[in-house]
A and B are shown apart, each in its own frame.
Chain A
Amino acid sequence: MIQNRTPFLNKISASLNRTEINAQPPVKEWQHRPVEKKLSHLTSDELMPAFIEQCGVLKNTTIVEVEAAQAMKEIDAAVQKFGGQSVALWDDERLTALGIEQLTTSKWIDEGMAVHIWDSALGRTENFERTNASNIGIAYAEYALAESGTVVLYSAEGQGKAVGLLPNVFIAIVKKSTLLPRMTQAASKIKEDFANTQLLPAAVDFISGPSNSADIEMDLVVGVHGPIFAHYIVLSDQ
Chain B
Amino acid sequence: MAIKYNDEAFKDNVNTNLERDFMRGAVTAAQNKLHGGRLKAVEELGDWEEWRNHGEEIRQHVLNNLDYYLNQLAENVEKAGGHVFFAQTADEATAYVQSVVKKKNATRVLKSKSMVTEEISLNEALEEIGCSVLETDLGEYILQLDDHDKPSHIVAPSVHKNRFQIKEVFVAKLGYPEDGSADAKDLARFVRTILREDYMKAEVGITGCNFAIADSGSISLVTNEGNAGLVTTIPETHIAVMGMERLVPSMEELEVLVNMLTRSAVGQKLTSYVNIITGPKRSEDVDGPEDFHLVILDNGRSDILAGEFKSVLQCIRCAACVNVCPVYRHIGGHSYNSIYSGPIGAVLTPLLAGYDDFKELPYASSLCGACTDACPVKIPLHQLLLKHRQVIVEKEGRAPVSEGLMMKGFSVGASSSTLFNVGTKIAATVMKPLSKDNMISKGVGPLKDWTDIRDFPIVEREKLRDWFDKREKKGGKSNDSK
Which A residues are within 8 Å of any B CB, using their own CB?
1-5, 7-9, 11-16, 18, 21-22, 25-26, 28, 30-38, 54, 58, 118-120, 122-124, 127-129, 132, 145, 147-150, 155-157, 160-162, 164-166, 182-184, 186-188, 190-191, 198-219, 221, 223-227
> What DSSP secondary structure best describes chain A's contact surface?
loop
Taking CB atoms, residues of chain A closer than 8 Å to B218 are 200, 204
Is B10 close to A, CB under 8 A?
no
CB nearest to B236 among chain A residues: A124
CB proximity of B221 to chain A, nearest CB, Å? 10
CA distance A199 to B46 in the complex (A): 34
Question: CB distance A219 to B67 under 8 Å?
Answer: no
Is B380 close to A, CB under 8 A?
no
Q: A14-B302, A191-B250, A202-B278 are in contact. List 6 more A-B contacts (CB 8 A).
A: A26-B249, A187-B255, A216-B158, A218-B33, A218-B159, A221-B185
Question: CB distance A34 to B282 under 8 Å?
Answer: no
CB proximity of A217 to chain B, nearest CB, Å? 5
21 pairs of residues in contact across A and B, judged by CB atoms under 8 Å: A9-B67, A12-B67, A13-B67, A21-B68, A30-B54, A34-B54, A37-B47, A120-B284, A124-B287, A128-B200, A161-B288, A162-B287, A164-B229, A187-B255, A188-B252, A203-B276, A207-B272, A208-B273, A216-B166, A223-B192, A224-B191
One of A31, A120, A208 near B53 (C-beta < 8 A):
A31
CB proximity of A11 to chain B, nearest CB, Å? 5
Q: Which of B139, B225, B270, B271 has the most CB of A within 10 A?
A: B270
User: Which range contains the number of B residues in contact with the other chain?
Assistant: 35 or more
Among B147-188, those with CB < 8 Å from A are 156-159, 162-163, 166, 184-185, 187-188
Taking CB atoms, residues of chain A closer than 8 Å to B266 are 214
Give a binary string over B69-112; 1 marks a CB under 8 Å from any A CB, 0 the rest: 11110110111100111111000100010000000000000000
Question: CB distance A208 to B271 under 8 Å?
Answer: yes
Total A-B residue contacts, Cβ distance less than 8 Å: 291
CB proximity of B300 to chain A, nearest CB, Å? 11
Is B59 close to A, CB under 8 A?
no
One of B72, B158, B252, B287 near A127 (C-beta < 8 A):
B287
Which B residues are within 8 Å of any A CB, using their own CB?
26, 29-30, 33, 45-47, 50-51, 53-54, 57-58, 61, 64-72, 74-75, 77-80, 83-88, 92, 96, 136-139, 142, 156-159, 162-163, 166, 184-185, 187-189, 191-192, 195-196, 199-200, 216, 218, 224-227, 229-230, 232-234, 236, 244, 249-252, 254-255, 258-259, 266, 268-282, 284-288, 296, 298, 302-303, 305-306
Question: CB distance B278 to A32 under 8 Å?
Answer: no
Taking CB atoms, residues of chain A closer than 8 Å to B74 are 2, 5
Question: CB distance A214 to B156 under 8 Å?
Answer: yes
Known: A7-B88, A15-B306. Is A215-B251 also a contact (CB below 8 A)?
no
Question: CB distance B284 to A161 under 8 Å?
Answer: no
Taking CB atoms, residues of chain B closer than 8 Å to A14 are 302, 306
One of B45, B66, B75, B226 near A36 (C-beta < 8 A):
B45
Question: CB distance B139 to A215 under 8 Å?
Answer: yes
Question: CB distance B287 to A201 under 8 Å?
Answer: no
Question: CB distance A156 to B286 under 8 Å?
Answer: no
Counting from the closest, the 8 A-B pairs by CB-CB distance are A215-B139, A15-B306, A226-B226, A8-B86, A211-B226, A34-B50, A157-B284, A216-B184
Question: CB distance B192 to A224 under 8 Å?
Answer: yes
CA distance A208 to B407 in the complex (A): 55
Question: CB distance A165 to B233 under 8 Å?
Answer: yes
CA distance A3 to B271 in the complex (A): 34
Question: CB distance B188 to A217 under 8 Å?
Answer: no
Taking CB atoms, residues of chain B closer than 8 Å to A156 are 282, 284-285
